[in-house]
Chains A and B, each alone.
Chain A
Amino acid sequence: MIGGLFIYNHKGEVLISRVYRDDIGRNAVDAFRVNVIHARQQVRSPVTNIARTSFFHVKRSNIWLAAVTKQNVNAAMVFEFLYKMCDVMASYFGKISEENIKNNFVLIYELLDEILDFGYPQNSETGSLKTFITQQGIKGQTKEEQSQITSQVTGQIGWRREGIKYRRNELFLDVLESVNLLMSPQGQVLSAHVSGRVVMKSYLSGMPECKFGMNDKIIIDKAGKGGVTNEAGKSTSGKQSIAIDDCTFNQCVRLSKFDSERSISFIPPDGEYELMRYRTTKDIILPFRVIPLVREVGRTKLEVKVVIKSNFKPSLLAQKIEVRIPTPLNTSGVQVICMKGKAKYKASENAIVWKIKRMAGMKESQISAEIELLPTNDKKKWARPPISMNFEVPFAPSGLKVRYLKVFESKLNYSDHDVIKWVRYIGRSGIYETRC
């Protein structure tokens, strides 16, 4: 298991050091600094073995978090734990920075004592941690409160405490998708996928039981086969259903139920959390198409023309559009002409950045640039990095639709109809690249 956990600043100075196992000595702290933080070369692996001691590290801004062990630990678990640790810290004191860590070191030690015992990760849900790690002492608690804390920390529903009350039962559902594309210069889709997340903010009283439904092809087909829906409904819903390659769920979702019935049922945590993640690869709506044209004119000049086409309903508006056209390292000057938006050559980033605030569907826009090059002796050809794009669209490129989210709370007197529900779809660009 994890033998120790260290946090360093960018210089390699130790901010936090907690050793859980006897086989990890103080010299391990230095070994990591010397061999990884101060290493001359770029880090080649997030796992490093130095003198039979293994170091796992992640970086958050310029802070290094390192877990150390001498055993054959579960590596995936160690990384998951480090991420979790970052989440917990962030939810306690915001951004993970040197200053914040120094300001909260007592708190961090307290957390580390609680969420790792002898190197074994323990309950690390901030919801329950915050009930008893407060930095203010827990003196004033009554016996009932104490046992409520312990049963929540160890209980089956460790993510939600009892007795939550809201005057207005409300929930917000965000379908956030990032659409990824790699396209060849000829316009052939080399790979495309959507990775989506369903993020929920729930403000519900009591211990509500929720059921979430979407236009998952498997469910819709099942329902269709059952002959319950009428002919018309079947044809419309059948058309709109999507094939989900894979999905993963927050730990509140009953996985065995999903496995057997493919229904998503759960008791939600209070406040904001990620309900599920999913991935689709079929029938993706690619909101933009990039058509590049690069021509080398002699050895000292490049002509670039890029056309972007929006490919969605004309009534919808895409926002925050940004096209990034890489330029060679030996660029000396750039002239840009674009019809829409603003374009600028950014020498420090070796790219022309073209920004458009808004663009409706089924439109087209174009930029052309002349790039002057300095003559070089460098034999190495320019690698021609791909043209990348950023945007935000108000629909889900995967085609996912939320069909229902039902809330049941039998003990309290509010029903599904009393809950105010909000649904929003946002599609963003992930890695959206076209080779040129």
Chain B
Amino acid sequence: MEWANQLCENRQFGSKMTDSKYFTTTKKGEIFELKAELNSDKKEKKKEAVKKVIASMTVGKDVSALFPDVVNCMQTDNLELKKLVYLYLMNYAKSQPDMAIMAVNTFVKDCEDANPLIRALAVRTMGCIRVDKITEYLCEPLRKCLKDEDPYVRKTAAVCVAKLHDINAQLVEDQGFLDTLKDLISDSNPMVVANAVAALSEIAESHPNSNLLDLNPQSINKLLTALNECTEWGQIFILDCLANYTPRDDRESQSICERVTPRLSHANSAVVLSAVKVLMKFMEMLPKDLDYYSTLLKKLAPPLVTLLSAEPELQYVALRNINLIVQKRPEILKHEMKVFFVKYNDPIYVKLEKLDIMIRLASQANIAQVLAELKEYATEVDVDFVRKAVRAIGRCAIKVEQSAERCVSTLLDLIQTKVNYVVQEAIVVIKDIFRKYPNKYESVIATLCENLDSLDEPEARAAMIWIVGEYAERIDNADELLESFLEGFHDESTQVQLQLLTAIVKLFLKKPTETQELVQQVLSLATQDSDNPDLRDRGYIYWRLLSTDPVAAKEVVLAEKPLISEETDLIEPTLLEELICHIGTLASVYHKPPSAFVEGSRGVMHKRLPARTGSGESTESPDVGTAAGGSAPEAAPSIIPSQGDLLGDLLNLDMAPPTTSGPPPPTTGMQMGGMDLLGGGLDSLLGGDIGGSPAMGAGFGAAPAVMPASLNAPVGGGLGDLFDLGGVGMPMGAYIPPKIVWLPAMKAKGLEISGTFARRAGVIQMELILTNKAMSVMTDFAIQFNRNSFGLAPAGPLQVLTPLGPNQTIEVSLPLSTVGPVMKMDPLNNLQVAVKNNIDVFYFSCQYPISMLFVEDGKMERQVFLATWKDIPNDNESQFQIKDCHLNSDAASSKLQGSNIFTIAKRTVEGQDMLYMSIKLSNGIWVLAELRVQAGNPNYTISLKCRAPEVSQCVFQCYEAVLKN
């Protein structure tokens, strides 16, 4: 044995001497030399030459000139050489498509080789060569390989279908490869199954609506069987695929969970996380009172904790995911606080994530321990980490009231350390503590004031100024303190300037006699010497307020502030749900939906957690009860959006500007809409801007109680089914108004245009009939829209290909997009169009039914609906009557659904049917509706609620049009 090892080592040593030298050749005539070597007769020399070529390729040198010479080496029975040539081909075939054809014969021949390894190698490599001509030749060999007797070849061929689909999707469909691939799901070999699942999942992603991965209880059963037998990677593919399935009922859901739980003990963390994803998702469907539900919850904690003993990179992925899981189901890890304690040698990215989770898990039970740890962390070296630790102490104070006092004293201790950034962070969080517990801890102000000089960061300066202004009456030298900031007013950041302006105005209102001069100074600095419009505007508002009505000024400026909420950086619930469906993936690491970082159509489809449905009578729709039953913390997410009314801006409508106590922030659904439009704007939305945060409280307090009460009432067992109307109701197609003449021939030198608008398969279309009533031929048609309320614009040119002869008529349909420039029109749905032909340019205007802007994913979740309805002020509600409509409520509902008006719930009270519906416009605006239908009464009443009440009128017109046609 010993001598054999020796020999091996020697051999390896020998190859050592040869292999690394390839990296060092940098001579000038290299290419020519290589060419000569490649054409050498000696096999060994050839091989050496190809190795050199590959080495050059790796370091980025262009060796494409050697293409024919390398391809000539392909005909060999030396597998190593063959693999090297293939590697070269994959890299350069695209740049030399004609030459690449030379290789086809060898590939085809190899696909017939007796050795399965060579067959698989050929089909694997061929799929990587992205040259059209080659892909044509690939089809036949691929078809054979998909049915090869050897599983190794079949599993390679399965992946090859995905490769081919990436190059030419149509070809794959035409050749029927998708069906063959589906058949492979029933293959006897688990690895073939796993690869087929992976390939199908990927292909399905780019066809969101195709029913490619036709998951049904039978196929799921096959997958679960394969799950026990295949490699760790295969298990991941299968679990990720399972996560896309929605079980029919809680029983099926439970049986899948039971078969997935053993995976939690797998050594591969990715298998564990993917299993966690499936369980988290399917758990949604289990009734909470089920024993199995609580068993499952208990089973989830240990594997999650175990993930933390993996390598640091995996720990990071795990922690990012645990962060989501803790937000969704805090009960799972509530007893595991200790495992998130930071270790001295953890990499910084692990430390920061652990800290985040510690704060989320902090509760009255463990707060003492947490605080002791946080204090420890605040003395560490890494600045970011220390800052976060200090901030965390503040957040604990706000979260756990009983601990507030201890937190404040810890913060004071930290201020005593005089470490600059510690002091500044401490002051920022103390400001928040003041806002949460007014009139409780003001005794510490004196200590804070001592550190005024050391504050050099805008946020800390702004916080300190806010404190001084807010408690001006208790600080004897408040005027001096504020004056000292005023000296360098123009060098301060905007944040500090705004805060200083407000603070001095507050001071003036509290101590008018001594501070008149100061207030005048700041007002003139803000209004006359500043370039910043925000600052100027605020300055003028104060100035005018103070000069016209000081009493009113006092009421406005010194108004009682709403309390700040506990959790400032929770992920918005709809997003959280989506991210839970993406556990383990990049989306869960970034905490962003895939659409925010993936290009193209892949993965853009939003995933949702399944709704709880029952298999039997047992579901008394417990959700509705709890959600409406006033359990505000659960139903109403305490998210603090950043300032500015997103929707208003998007629509370019003149909506009231947000004030400090302001309109309640848009709830979940609305935010999502906005986010989709913004794409990457997520960060700004979720960025925890604690400073300028209006709280939720006020908005909710004033919410009308009518709606929730009505849904709160027990509705009978049928509710669950009703909620699924979306799936059950037969889509009847969107309502399309009849064509009308938009441009009479008289006005357009003989061109008559009539038309209408339609929404077909999610695409908005303008359908036109052009008639030539003149004597001459018309050509060169083009169309353009003026800016309009919803940004409608032609998605392509007007397709009138043949000239339009006299008395000829042509029908054209023009797809429209909603990404054009926006301007508010009156009426809102007015569209000004210009049509050009060889004769002249003509203008006309038309009105489109707003229903064509109703998007397909406009079905709001029940809870979201409830919260949103409560949240929209009563002033935004409008009521309309629809007369002479003879449909019953179900017919009406399914008719409306055809136009993407989705019924969310139905309720019957004293013979009157109430339908609750939601609509989402293409620009993300939600419209909520309540339709009342009285049996035997042809008049319907409809109430519409929307944040942009302007649209209500148009929406009502649509209801009328849809219901009456």
Contacts and interface: CB of A to CB of B under 8 A. Distances in A.
Chain B, interface size category, equals: 35 or more
Contact of A245 (B266, B302, B585, B602): B302
Interface in B335-386: 338-339, 341, 343-345, 348-349, 369, 372-373, 376, 379-381
B594 interface: yes
A258 B20 CA distance: 48
A195 B191 CA distance: 32
Given A153-B152, A379-B419, 4 more contacts: A132-B117, A137-B78, A146-B116, A256-B259
14 contacts: A14-B59, A42-B348, A49-B590, A104-B19, A106-B51, A118-B160, A135-B15, A146-B117, A149-B152, A248-B266, A259-B261, A381-B379, A433-B344, A435-B376
A40 interface: no
Contacts of A138: 79, 115, 117
A30 to B, nearest CB: 9
- Which 5 A-B residue pairings sit nearest by Cβ, starting from the closest? A246-B302, A150-B152, A76-B270, A259-B262, A77-B270
Interface stretch (B172-180, B304-312, B559-567, B692-700): B304-312
B136 to A, nearest CB: 18
Given A13-B59, A76-B273, A120-B159, A255 B263 contact: yes
Interface string A47-59: 1010010101110
Interface in A35-52: 42-47, 49, 52
Given A46-B316, A93-B12, A117 B159 contact: yes
B585 A74 contact: yes
A248 B267 contact: yes
A386 interface: yes
B459 interface: no
Contacts of B782: none
A297 to B, nearest CB: 21
Interface in B541-596: 582, 584-590, 594
A83 interface: yes
A120 to B, nearest CB: 5
Contact of A75 (B54, B237, B305, B589): B589
Interface in A125-166: 125, 132, 135-139, 141, 143, 146-147, 149-151, 153-156, 158
Given A46-B349, A153-B152, A386 B344 contact: yes
B114 A255 contact: no
Contacts of B198: 1, 120
Interface in B372-409: 372-373, 376, 379-381
B305 A246 contact: yes
Contacts of A72: 582, 585-587, 594, 597-598, 602-603
Contacts of A56: 313
Nearest to A178: B309
A384 interface: yes
Given A79-B313, A105-B54, A118 B159 contact: yes
B930 interface: no
A113 B91 CA distance: 13
A191 B341 contact: yes
Contacts of A139: 77-79
B305 A383 contact: no
A255 B232 CA distance: 12
A76 B598 contact: no
Contacts of B273: 74, 76
Residue picked from B55, B60, B152, B603, most chain A C-beta under 10 Å: B152
A229 interface: no
Interface of B: 12, 15-16, 19-20, 22-23, 51, 54-55, 58-60, 77-80, 83-84, 86-87, 91, 114-117, 120, 124, 127-128, 130, 150-153, 155-156, 159-160, 162-163, 166-167, 189-192, 195, 198, 202, 228-233, 236-237, 240, 259, 261-263, 265-270, 272-274, 302-303, 305-306, 309, 311-314, 316-318, 338-339, 341, 343-345, 348-349, 369, 372-373, 376, 379-381, 417-419, 582, 584-590, 594, 597-599, 602-603
Contacts of B83: 109-110, 113
Contacts of B259: 256
Contacts of A75: 317, 584-586, 588-589
Contacts of B51: 106
A370 interface: no
Interface stretch (A15-23, A285-293, A361-369, A415-423): A15-23
A155 B83 CA distance: 24
Interface of A: 1, 13-17, 19-23, 26, 29, 42-47, 49, 52, 54, 56-58, 69-77, 79-83, 93, 99, 102-106, 109-110, 113, 117-118, 120-125, 132, 135-139, 141, 143, 146-147, 149-151, 153-156, 158, 182, 184, 190-191, 193, 195, 245-251, 254-256, 258-259, 274, 276-277, 279, 379-381, 383-386, 388, 431, 433, 435
A29 B599 contact: no
A80 B269 contact: yes
A246 B303 contact: yes
Nearest to B121: A113
B117 A79 contact: no
Contacts of B314: 76, 79-80, 83
Nearest to B376: A435
Contacts of B91: 19
Nearest to B18: A103
A274 B309 contact: no
Contacts of A190: 338, 341, 369, 373
Which of A52, A117, A146, A190 lies at the interface centre, i.e. has the most chain B CB atoms within 10 A of its CB? A117
A55 to B, nearest CB: 11
B163 A118 contact: yes
A244 B938 CA distance: 69
B152 A49 contact: no
Contacts of A259: 261-262, 265
A117 B79 CA distance: 18
A139 B77 CA distance: 8
B361 to A, nearest CB: 14
A383 B380 contact: yes
Contacts of B589: 47, 75
Q: Output the residue of A43, A49, A254, A433 with the most chain B CB within 10 A.
A: A49
A153 to B, nearest CB: 6
Given A102-B20, A106-B19, A117-B156, A29 B348 contact: no
A63 to B, nearest CB: 14
A109 B81 CA distance: 12
A41 B764 CA distance: 49
A147 B590 CA distance: 44
B259 to A, nearest CB: 8
B235 to A, nearest CB: 8
B584 A77 contact: yes
B581 to A, nearest CB: 11
B603 A47 contact: no
Given A158-B231, A259-B265, A383-B381, A22 B305 contact: no
A184 B376 CA distance: 11
Residue from B51, B86, B314 with most neighbouring chain A CB atoms (10 Å):
B314
B265 A58 contact: no
Nearest to A6: B58
Contact of A109 (B54, B127, B594, B599): B54
B338 A14 contact: no
Given A56-B313, A255-B262, A154 B192 contact: yes
Most A CB within 10 A of own CB, among B80, B381, B588? B80
A118 B603 contact: no
A73 to B, nearest CB: 6
A254 to B, nearest CB: 8
A258 B265 contact: yes
Given A70-B599, A103-B15, A132-B117, A47 B316 contact: yes
Among B86, B261, B344, the most chain A Cβ lie within 10 Å of the Cβ of: B344
Contact of A74 (B263, B274, B343): B274
A151 B151 contact: yes
A47 B318 CA distance: 13
